[in-house]
């Protein structure tokens, strides 16, 4: 603003402004304030109504017994006590943890390999990037539908054709409780590589080329450069990807809904699916809200971690 006042006073032809700069500045400030509020209002009110209020409602309903038809009844902490002993809910949490623990590291490693290779100028670079990224932009419903067909238990499912050539199978991937979670994890790995690769690519492009040149002069080979320079320099990106992947993992829903509906024998149920079941199939809306609050608490922990990391690099 100081530069602005300096400017208002320099041009000779702006008579009135020059004579009364303070009042002019004051009216600009008022207009700024008014328009600031006016432009920010729709989005702010919308989020207050559709995110803020629902959070409050969720917390309130989590202390009630409610089945949509009858009025809600306050029951204190009983829902939370129920969840505490709800084996299926915690199994669902555990499935999220297992999917994350196996899927995320593999997917991150493959993403890093793709990113490093596609950061070099290779012919067809754009096509390769697109092929790796496509699973991410395609709707999870469509993705799940495709994999449903790939996992088809008859010998004509692609997976069983491939295994057949190796002399294995056919295996009932999605109907065998021992195989279903693994089948789900494979899809999450495949689907997750693209976005992680993209973030790694963005991070790689920000790296300092001089380090590599120095390493080249010292005769470092590709593998040495990868582990000594690339991996350490990518640590912020790695941490960022890890946290955001953990958050996304706890929001897996579409995939489970289409592929397995949580089955067989609840072997692939995840938190969001369990909440969906509790609310919209069992109509225990109060309990489902308590489950949502617990999911929210889990995610807030991750979100705060990521906020601290992203906050640090937030380029204003």
Q: Which of 54, 224, 227, 228 binds other proteins (CB under 8 A)?
A: 54
Q: Is the separation of the CB atoms in 176 and 248 below 8 Å?
A: no
Least Cβ distance, residue 23 to other proteins (angstroms): 14
Q: 202-209 long-range CB contacts below 8 Å, 24 or more apart? A: 202/237, 203/234, 203/236, 203/237, 204/115, 204/116, 204/119, 204/230, 204/234, 205/119, 207/233, 207/234, 208/233
Shortest approach of other proteins to residue 235 CB, angstroms?
Answer: 12
Q: Which of 99, 111, 115, 132 binds other proteins (CB under 8 A)?
A: 132
* 174 binds other proteins per the rule CB under 8 A: no
Q: Which of 70, 120, 178, 218 binds other proteins (CB under 8 A)?
A: 120
Q: CA 143, CA 136: separation in Å to the nearest integer?
A: 9
279 contacts 263 by C-beta, under 8 angstroms:
no
Question: How many C-beta atoms surround the C-beta of residue 8 within 10 A?
Answer: 15
Q: Is residue 260 part of the contact set for other proteins (CB under 8 A)?
A: no
The span from the CA of 137 to the CA of 114, in Å, is 17
Beta carbon nearer to other proteins, 178 or 316: 316
The residues in 73-112 that bind other proteins, with binding defined as CB under 8 A, are none
The residue from 249, 269, 272, 277 that contacts other proteins (CB under 8 A) is 272
**Whats the size of the chain, residue-wise?**
316
Based on the shown chain and the rule CB under 8 A, indicate whether residue 155 belongs to the binding site for other proteins: yes
Among 199, 242, 246, 256, binds other proteins (CB under 8 A): 199
- What are the two backbone dihedrals, phi and then psi, of residue 184, each rounded to the nearest 5 degrees? -65, -45
User: What does the DSSP assignment read for 276-306?
Assistant: HHHHHTS--HHHHHHHHHHHHHHHHHHHHHH
Establish if 265 lies at the interface with other proteins (CB under 8 A).
no
- Given 19, 23, 26, 57, the residue binding other proteins (CB under 8 A): 57
Q: Which is nearer to other proteins, 17 or 175 (by Cβ)? A: 17
How many residues contact other proteins, by CB under 8 A? 122
Interface residue with other proteins among 203, 242, 243, 256 (CB under 8 A) is 203
Q: Are 234 and 200 spatial neighbours (Cβ–Cβ below 8 Å)?
A: yes
| CB 187, CB 141: distance < 8 Å | no
User: For residues 178 and 187, which CB has a smaller minimum distance to other proteins in the complex?
Assistant: 187
Contact status: 40 vs other proteins (CB under 8 A)? yes
Phi then psi dihedrals of residue 200, to 5 deg? -60, -40
Task: Name which of 171 and 237 has its Cβ closer to other proteins.
Answer: 237
Compute the least distance from the CB of residue 91 to other proteins, in Å.
18
CB-nearer residue toward other proteins: 152 or 268: 152
CB of 36 to other proteins, least distance (A): 3
């Amino acid at each position: 603003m100081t530069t602005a006042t300096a400017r208002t006073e320099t041009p000779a032809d702006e008579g009135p402004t020059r004579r009364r700069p303070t009042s002019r500045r004051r009216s600009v400030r008022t207009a700024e304030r008014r328009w600031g509020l006016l432009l920010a209002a729709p989005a702010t009110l919308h989020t207050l109504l559709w995110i803020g209020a629902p959070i409050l409602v969720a917390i309130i309903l989590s202390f009630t017994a409610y089945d949509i038809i009858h009025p809600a009844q306050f029951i204190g902490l009983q829902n939370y006590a129920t969840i505490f002993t709800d084996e299926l809910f915690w199994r669902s949490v555990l499935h999220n943890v297992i999917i994350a623990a196996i899927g995320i590291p593999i997917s991150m490693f493959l993403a890093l390999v793709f990113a490093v290779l596609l950061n070099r100028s290779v012919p067809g670079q754009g096509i390769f990037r697109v092929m790796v990224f496509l699973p991410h932009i395609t709707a999870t419903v469509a993705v799940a539908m495709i994999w449903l067909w790939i996992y088809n238990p008859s010998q004509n499912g692609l997976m069983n054709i491939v295994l057949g050539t190796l002399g294995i199978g056919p295996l009932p991937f999605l109907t065998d409780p021992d195989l279903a979670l693994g089948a789900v994890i494979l899809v999450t790995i495949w689907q997750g590589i693209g976005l992680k690769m993209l973030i790694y690519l963005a991070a790689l492009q920000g790296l300092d080329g001089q380090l590599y040149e120095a390493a080249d002069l010292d005769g470092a080979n590709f593998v040495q450069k990868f582990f000594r320079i690339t991996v350490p320099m990518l640590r912020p990106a790695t941490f960022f990807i890890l946290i955001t992947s953990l958050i996304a993992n706890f929001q897996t829903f579409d995939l489970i809904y289409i592929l397995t509906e949580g089955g067989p024998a609840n072997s692939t149920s995840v938190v969001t699916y369990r909440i969906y079941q509790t609310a919209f199939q069992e109509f225990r809306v109060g309990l489902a809200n308590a489950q949502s609050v617990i999911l929210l608490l889990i995610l807030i922990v991750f979100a705060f971690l990521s906020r601290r990391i992203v906050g640090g690099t937030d380029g204003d």
